[in-house]
Amino acid sequence: MRRVPLLLLLCGAVAADVQDLQSRVFHARDRVLPALVNVQVVTETFQGGRRRQMTAGGSGVVVSADGLVVTNFHVAGHAKKVFCTLADKTRVRAELLGGDPSTDLAVLRLDLKEIKRLGGSFKVATLGRSEGVQVGDFVIALGSPFGLTASLTSGVISNTERYLSSSQRLPTGEPTGMFNNWIQTDAAINPGNSGGPLVNLSGEVIGINTRAITGDGLGFAIPVDTVKRVYTQIVAHGSVVRSWIGVDRGLEPLGLESEVRGVRVGHVDEGSPAAKAGLRPGDIIQAIAGKPVEAVHLDQIASIRSTIADAPLGKPLTLRVRRGEETVDLSAVTERLGALKLEYFDARRFGLTARPVTERFARQRGLKSTAGVVITGVTGGGPAAAADLQAGDIILKVQRKSVESLQSFRKLYREIQKDMPEKVLVSIQRGQARMFRALTPSKKDEEDDE
Amino acid sequence: MRMFASLLLLLSPALAGELEQSVLRSAQASMVGVQARVMRTFTFGGQTRSRRVPARLTGVVIGEGRILTGPLGDDPQNLKVFVPGTEDGIDAELEESGPDFSVITAEGLTAVPLSFKKDWDPAIGEKLVWVGMLSGSLGKWNLIAKSAEVDVLIKDEQTDTLDVYSDPPFGGPVLVQNAPVFNREGRPIGVLILRRSAAGGGRRGGGRQPGLPVIRLASAFSGWLDGSVQRRAVLGVSVEPLGEAVAEALGLTGTPAVVVTQVTPGSGADKAGLRAQDMITQVDGKPMPNGEALRAALRGKAAGDKITIVYLRDAGGGPQKAEVEATLTARDAQAAKERHRARRFGFVAQPLTDAVRRDQNLPADVSGVYVRRVTRGGPAGLGRPTPLRRGDVILKVGEDPTSDLASLKAVLQSLPDGKPVTLFVRNGANTRFVEITPEKPSE
C-alpha cells in the first residue's frame, strides 16, 4: 500500500498526474535532503545497576541558518558528545542546546566554524504547518534507518490526531507524550529514522519522525506546530517551561452520551493549585481561561493538558466548572511543572544506580515529599544485590544521615568513600514498608571515575 | 475431571495392592496443589537476603474450604489451590502460618475433608502410604503416591512427631511436604514432613537432597482439624528478622530481634507508639528471634489482652531501649472472607481490610470496597484498559458512597440493566471515574 506511487511508476503507468506526482516528490526531496543530518552520539545509559557509555545514531534536520538542528530527545537528550554528518558528508561536532522528554525533542547547534573550515555546506529546511494536514496526504520521510544514511521513504498520512497511551516512557525513564498527539504515517519509519523530517509534497517539514510500532507501516511523528513551540523554548531556556495546576493525570473524556460538554476531573493532586482552588473529582471543566474545552474521546485530552501547560506561569488561571446543576468559576494560580529530564548517579562501590524522587513519582506513589533517591538498578551479585536492595526501593538514609536529593546522596557517597566503613547502613522504603539494609561496599576502585 | 488416568505413581512393586488403591481412591477427593509466591530467606556469602520466590506445595483439605499445607511465610502472594487434573486455580487466603505448616482457606473449593485418626499406635513393620501432589511441566497437578513397610518408628511425645526409617526410604520430593500419610487400614494418621538431614545439611547440595521423612501425627494439629485453634488477636505490625549484617551495622551483633517494617494505622501497635524500624527484642519476657516467635507469643490471646513489648529504636546516637504495653485488637478475618459477586457488573468485591489497605498503599481515611476480581469480557472487564481492574477501591457508585459491602450491594441492586452507571474508584494514590453498563449475566 505504502509504495503505491512508486509501484505505479515501476509498472510503467504513464498517466500525466503520476508524472506530476513524481516531479513533486523530486521537488520535495530536493528542498529537504540538503538540510538532513545524520546524528551520532556518545551517550550514557544506566542499566543493570551501572553507568555505561554507548554510541547511538539517529537523524535530524537543520531548521536555522545559524546551524540549529532538531532531533529526538531519545537520540541526543542524554548525549555527552554529538557528531553530525551533513548531506554533503561533512562530519562536524555539535552541541546539545537542550531537550524536552515530554515531546521527545532536542535541539543541537552545529559547529559552523568547523563546517566553514572543512568547506561543507547545508541548507535550511522550511517548517510548514501541521494544522490542516489531512489523512491521505502524500508524504515522504527522510533519515538514516539502521544507519543507512539519506534514505527516503514515502507514504500517506494515516491519522493526524493519533493518541498513544499517556503512560509511556522513553528508554531513559522519562514519561513522554502527555502534551501532544502524533501524526501517523505508513511511510516506513525504522530505528535511525528518529529525529528525521516528515515532509509534504511542497517540501515543507510537517513533523519529526519519532517512533514506530512493530508491524508494518505504523510510524509516528511529532506535529511540526508542537515542534515550533518546543524549539523556541529550548533555544530560549534550554528546556520547556510548563505551567501546572495538578490535574494533568486526572482529566477524563466524558463520552458521547454525556449531555454536558467539557472534560471530567477524575483526580486532583493533593495540595496542588487546583485543589487549593477548590476543584474536586467529579467536576467538569468547560472552559480554561475563557477558551471552551471538550473531550469526548481520549485523543482530545493531550491538547487540554497542553492548554494548561501553555498558560502563563504564576498567574491565576480561570476554570469554568460544571458541578452538578451549578456552574462555578474557580481560579488556580499556576506553578511550574517539575523538570522532566531525569538525572542518574552510579554509586559504583554500592553496586547500584539511583535517580531523584521527582514530584511526579512522589505523587504517583503517594509519598509525602520528594526526599530520598530511587534505586533504578543493582548490579548482579554486587553489594546492593547482596544486601537485598532492589530497583524501586527508595533510599531515605545512608549511615543515619537523611538523603534529601540526588545531590545529597552523591555527597554522602563521596564522604563514605573517604573512610570506607565495613558496613554501610541504609534505611529504605519499599512499598509502604520501611526497612534497614546493610551493604558491604566493594573495595575495588576499578573504573570509578566519579 | 478427577480421573484415575491422571495419577502419577511412584510406587514400589506392591503398587497394585489393595491398600494403595483404596488409599488413592479415598485421598484424591481431598488433595489439592498449592501455589504461591512466598518470601524465602537465603544465606549467601555470610549475608542474609529475602526474596520472593514461587512455591508449589501439597495441600490436604481438613475442613470446609480449609487446607493444611507446607510453610508459606507471613505474606504469600497469588495464593491459589488446584484440584488434581486441573490447571485453573482457585484463589486462597492464608489463615495461619508456622515454621513448617500453614492453614489456608479457599472459598468455593469443593473437596471432601479427610478425617484423620487422632489416636494411632504404630506397629513395627507397618505398611504406610503417603499421597502427595506434583505439578508437571504443563502446570497440571497430579497425584503422586508412595508406600513402604516402615521398619522403625520413634515417637517424640513432645512434638507428636514420628521418625520413620525404611528401605527404600519413605521420603519424596520437596513438593510433597505435608502429604497425608495413611496406615495399613487406609486411615489417614498424619502428614509427612521432610526434615533436612543433619549430616547432609551443609552448603553443598544439602538443600537438594530429599529430607528425612518424619510423620507429624494428627494429634499435633487436632486443634486445626476441629477449628478450635484460630488466630484471634493481632498486634498490627509486619516484621522481618534482624539480619546479621544490619545488626552489625547498627552495633547490635548477637541481639535477636524482629524489625518492624510497617504498623497498621489504629492498631494496638500504633496506639502503643511503635513505629517502622523499631526492633522488638522481647514480648512478655520471651526473646523474639523471628516472626514465628512473635506469632507464637500472640497465639491463644484475645482482643483486649495486653502484652509487654521491649524494643530498640535507632535514634540519632544509636539504638535506645524502651518498653511499652500494647493492647491486641481483633483480627478482621471474618471480613476478609466476605465477598460480593456483582454478576451483572462482572466483578467480585471484598471489604477493605487492614491487610488490603497495607498492600495497596491506602491511608486509613479511605473508605470503600476492594475489587478482588474482574470477569474478563464482562461489563467491568471489556476493553483495553478494562474499566475496572483488580486492586481498585470503589469509593462511590453514582452519588452513593460505598463504604462497605452492604452499601455496595444495596446500590448495585437498585440499578437497572442496560443503563450506564459511573463508579468513582481509587487505585494507589490516584482516583478516576469509570462507566459500566450492567447486563444480565449469560448462562
**In chain A, which residue's Cα lies nearest the Cα of B316?**
A400
Of B252 and B99, which is predicted with more confidence? B252
Contact A245, A273 (CB under 8 A): yes
Q: Do B430 and A257 touch (CB under 8 A)?
A: no
Q: Do A255 and B432 touch (CB under 8 A)?
A: no
In chain B, residues with a C-beta closer than 8 Å to the C-beta of A386 are 44-45, 47, 49
Q: Do A267 and B432 touch (CB under 8 A)?
A: yes
Whole-number pLDDT of residue B138: 63
First to last CA, chain A: 53
Whole-number pLDDT of residue B440: 86
Spatial separation of the C-alpha atoms in residues B412 and B237, rounded to whole Å: 35
- Decide if A433 touches B, using CB distance below 8 A: yes
The percent of residues in chain B predicted with pLDDT above 90, rounded, is 27
Cross-strand partners of A140: A154, A199
Which 3-state string (H, E, C) describes chain A? CCCHHHHHHHCCCCCHHHHHHHHHHHHHHHHHHHHEEEEEEEEEEEECCEEEEEEEEEEEEECCCCCEEEECHHHHCCEEEEEEECCCCCEEEEEEEEEECCCCEEEEEECHHHHHHHCCCCCCCEECCCCCCCCCCEEEEEECHHHCCCEEEEEEEEEEEECCCCCCECCCCCECCCCCCEEEECCCCCCCCCCCEEEECCCEEEEEEEEECCCCCCEEEEEHHHHHHHHHHHHHHCCCCCEECCCHHHEECCCCCCCCCCEEECCCCCCCHHHHCCCCCCCEEEEECCEECCCCCHHHHHHHHHHHHCCCCCCEEEEEEEECCEEEEEEEECEECCCCCCCCEEEHHHCEEEEECCHHHHHHHCCCCCCCEEEEEECCCCHHHHCCCCCCCEEEEECCEECCCHHHHHHHHHHHHHHCCCCEEEEEEECCEEEEEEECCCCCCCCCCC
Q: Do B277 and A434 touch (CB under 8 A)?
A: yes
Of A102, A194, A239, A272, the active-site residue reads: A194
Whole-number pLDDT of residue A338: 84
Domain(s) of CATH 2.40.10.120: residues in chain A: 1-240
Reply yes or no: is the peptide bond before residue B385 cis, omega within 30 of 0: yes
Q: Do B428 and A252 touch (CB under 8 A)?
A: no
Spatial separation of the C-alpha atoms in residues B135 and B86, rounded to whole Å: 10
**In chain B, which residue's Cα lies nearest the Cα of A397?**
B316
Whole-number pLDDT of residue B126: 83
Whether A111 is catalytic: no
In chain A, residues with a C-beta closer than 8 Å to the C-beta of B435 are 255
Nearest of B165, B175, B173 to residue B215 by alpha carbon:
B165
Query: Cell triple for residue A28?
Result: 520535495
| pLDDT at residue B221 is higher than 50 | yes
> A372-400 burial, b for 16+ CB within 10 Å, e for fewer?
bbbbbbbbeebbbbbbbbeeebbbbbbee
Of A202 and B265, which is predicted with more confidence? A202
Whole-number pLDDT of residue B384: 75
Whether A74 is catalytic: yes
Could you tell me the CATH superfamily of domain A245-336?
PDZ domain (2.30.42.10)
Which of A366, A386, A437 minimises the CB distance to B429?
A366
Of B332 and B341, which is predicted with more confidence? B341
At B2, the pLDDT band (50, 70, 90 cuts) reads very low
Whether A27 is catalytic: no
- Decide if A437 touches B, using CB distance below 8 A: yes
Compute the half-sphere exposure of residue B334: CA atoms within 13 Å on the CB side of its CA. 3
**In chain A, which residue's Cα lies nearest the Cα of B426?**
A267
**Average pLDDT of the segment spanning B143-170:** 80
Most confidently modeled range among B108-112, B187-191, B421-425: B421-425
- Decide if A323 touches B, using CB distance below 8 A: no
In chain A, residues with a C-beta closer than 8 Å to the C-beta of B358 are 432
Nearest of A428, A436, A418, A414 to residue A373 by alpha carbon:
A428
Out of A95-109, B116-130, B336-350, pick the least confident.
Answer: B116-130
Q: Do B248 and A423 touch (CB under 8 A)?
A: yes
Which of A366, A400, A432 minimises the CB distance to B358?
A432
| Domain at A1-240, CATH class | mainly beta
Q: What topology is assigned to B333-436 in CATH?
A: Pdz3 Domain (2.30.42)
Q: Do B250 and A255 touch (CB under 8 A)?
A: no
Spatial separation of the C-alpha atoms in residues A375 and A47, rounded to whole Å: 11
Nearest of B270, B248, B130 to residue B193 by alpha carbon:
B130
- Decide if A281 touches B, using CB distance below 8 A: yes
Segments of chain A scoring below 70 in pLDDT: 1-15, 166-167, 444-450
Spatial separation of the C-alpha atoms in residues B131 and B32, rounded to whole Å: 11
In terms of phi and psi (left: phi > 0; alpha: psi -120 to 50; beta: otherwise), the region of B205 is left
Chosen from A268, A435, A439 to mutate, greatest number of chain B CBs within 10 A: A435
Q: What topology is assigned to B4-225 in CATH?
A: Thrombin, subunit H (2.40.10)
pLDDT one-digit tens code per residue, A90-136: 999 999 999 999 999 999 999 999 999 999 999 999 999 999 999 99
First to last CA, chain B: 21
Q: Are strands B306-315 and B318-327 parallel, antiparallel or unpaired?
A: antiparallel
Q: What is the ipTM of this complex?
A: 0.80
Work out the minimum CA distance from A368 to partner chain B, whole angstroms: 11
| pLDDT at residue B442 is higher than 70 | no
At B315, the pLDDT band (50, 70, 90 cuts) reads confident
Which of B238, B359, B430 minimises the CB distance to A249?
B430
| pLDDT at residue B299 is higher than 90 | no
Domain(s) of CATH 2.30.42.10: residues in chain A: 245-336, 345-439
pLDDT one-digit tens code per residue, A305-314: 999 999 999 9
CATH number of A345-439: 2.30.42.10
Whole-number pLDDT of residue B17: 72
Q: Side chain identity at A235, as an amino acid letter? A: V
Chosen from A264, A280, A323, A388 to mutate, greatest number of chain B CBs within 10 A: A388
Whole-number pLDDT of residue B272: 96
User: Which of the 8 DSSP states describes residue B175?
Assistant: G
Whole-number pLDDT of residue A319: 97
| pLDDT at residue B414 is higher than 90 | yes
Check if CATH label 2.30.42.10 holds for domain B233-330. Answer: yes
Query: Cell triple for residue A392?
Result: 524501586
Q: Do A438 and B259 touch (CB under 8 A)?
A: no
Q: Side chain identity at B364, as an amino acid letter? A: A
**In chain A, which residue's Cα lies nearest the Cα of B420?**
A257
Out of A60-64, B45-49, B362-366, B433-437, pick the least confident.
Answer: B45-49
Of A59, A78, A102, A104, the active-site residue reads: A104
